[in-house]
Amino acid sequence: MALTVHAIKGTQDVLPSQSGRWQYIERRLIETARLYGFRELRTPVFEHTELFNRSVGDTTDVVQKEMYTFDDNGGRSVSLRPEGTAGAVRAFLEHGLHNEALPAKICYVSGCYRYEKPQAGRLREFHQFGVECFGAPSPAADAEVIALAASAFDALGVRNLRLELNSIGCPACRPKYSQALKDYFTAHEAELCDTCRERLTRNPMRILDCKSPVCAAVAAKAPLVTDYLCEDCRAHQRGVEAHLNARGVAFINNPRIVRGLDYYTRTVFEFISSDLGAQATVCGGGRYDGLVEQMGGPSVPALGFGMGLERLLMVMEAQGCPFPEDKPCQVYLAPMGDAASLEATRLCGMLRDEGFSAETDLAGRGLKAQMKYANKLGARYTVVLGEQELADGKARLKNMGTGEEREVILPDGLLSALYDSEIEGALNDLNATLESDWLRKEEK
């Protein structure tokens, strides 16, 4: 019988065989952010639609074409989160974090939703690691956030990324650039797509981000924003570059970067991989000094980035980055008979209380079938429990990797043997980690 329900197009399941990689990536990202003083924030998956209209911008593709928007049972328009910054700013204001010590540094791992054509590295449900820094106007803050992203990639062993940097100006110098763009694109209006013709009067900078090959070809010869920056924006950009150089973070200037959301000002940046084909941007962000005030709060400078986890995972797998092995079942207790099954249940509970992964038969299998099942679980050790073992209070602990067996007294001898194995394994893991870190530093 055919399945009547399938995963919705543009979504994917993370199976148990893959979930360990996701957990590892998320853990390393959060740990790296903590080294920079960032603490985790969790926001709802849906918000009032107005929040995204005001923050993301009603001239962007995200708001115009891609948001999942619906009326709830109370008649309120709500939308699934298309990106993380808007909800973070809303939480920052709603909970009065702007009244606490600044800068406020937050990070998050969030699911996001956009209705766009699914392809490799671009799904309708996707996941982002993001950081936001509120209350820091200096170029050092820009470099700090960018360096955090670079450190996160380094912690995961990701190589061959290119950091591209630009400044898109501020409210003082942006109008002159917008007018220059409007003049340029007006002369090419007949070549533009329908959407970009609408953008021409409302926000000509959005044309620079159009995915149409025809519009992109026209935009390639458009005026550069760097030719219209005011002196304050130029000085800020020079400061960002100086701080990145001081941190040893390599970058190249790309005056064509504008990013796809309306709230950005001054610094914008992207980390780009050569291993992803068309969807090459793994991380992007920048400064958005006017957004907090735009959303009804005080004037608070801010900046941040979003890192796509699906794309990051693709890069790591393409580069053969190391992932920790999922910890298998440490010990499988194979009972024979009802009395042994009760004892196995008791021993499993005791072992789990001590922090060991332990399993036993739940399907009424014979001993041979249980051993096959233990192999499929990847159990490190097995213990067979029969009438003789119960009578003697002893059993044989078998190392499934080497075939070596040893007699242990139940339960203390079993615990002691597993503790010895755990210590040995931890030392091996530590040595492997230190060696990997050393090799990575040698490569750099």
For position 2, what pLDDT does the model report? Answer: 65
For position 439, what pLDDT does the model report? Answer: 56
What six digits make up the tokens of 392?
Answer: 């003697």
Q: What is the spatial distance between Cα 151 and Cα 325, in angstroms, rounded to a whole number? A: 23
135-164 mean pLDDT: 97
Check pLDDT > 90 for residue 222: yes
pLDDT band at 442 (very low <50, low <70, confident <90, very high): low
Q: What is the spatial distance between Cα 246 and Cα 269, in angstroms, rounded to a whole number? A: 18
Question: Which architecture, in CATH terms, is 16-173+229-319?
Answer: 2-Layer Sandwich (3.30)
Check pLDDT > 80 for residue 379: yes
Question: Which architecture, in CATH terms, is 331-433?
Answer: 3-Layer(aba) Sandwich (3.40)
What are the residues whose beta carbons fall under 8 Å from the beta carbon of 399, sequence distance 6 or more?
A: 380, 381, 405
Residue type, 382: T
Check pLDDT > 80 for residue 434: no
Note the pTM of the prediction, 2 decimals.
Answer: 0.87
Listed residue (315, 222, 306, 210) closest to 264, CA to CA? 306
**16-173+229-319 and 331-433 in the same fold:** no
Sign of CA pseudo-dihedral 318, 321, 322, 328: negative
In the block, tokens 């809303």 appear at 90
Long-range CB pairs of 357-366 (<8 Å, 24+ gap) are 357/327, 357/328, 357/329, 357/330, 357/331, 358/329, 358/330, 358/331, 358/332, 358/333, 359/329, 359/331, 359/332, 359/333, 360/332, 360/333, 360/334, 360/335, 361/334, 361/335
- Cα 376 to chain centroid distance, Å, stands at 31
Domain locations in the chain as residue ranges: 16-173+229-319, 331-433
Check pLDDT > 90 for residue 342: yes
What are the residues whose beta carbons fall under 8 Å from the beta carbon of 26, sequence distance 6 or more?
A: 109, 129, 309
Check pLDDT > 80 for residue 214: yes
For position 399, what pLDDT does the model report? Answer: 93
pLDDT in tens, 83-110: 999 999 999 999 999 999 999 999 999 9
Listed residue (303, 281, 299, 282) closest to 290, CA to CA? 299
pLDDT in tens, 284-301: 999 999 999 999 999 999
Listed residue (263, 168, 264, 175) closest to 225, CA to CA? 168
Check pLDDT > 70 for residue 175: yes
pLDDT band at 121 (very low <50, low <70, confident <90, very high): confident
E strand residue ranges, 246-345: 252-253, 265-273, 281-287, 302-308, 331-335
In the block, tokens 């025809």 appear at 214
Q: What is the spatial distance between Cα 145 and Cα 240, in angstroms, rounded to a whole number? A: 11
Check pLDDT > 90 for residue 239: yes
User: Three-state SS for 319?
Assistant: helix
37-66 mean pLDDT: 85
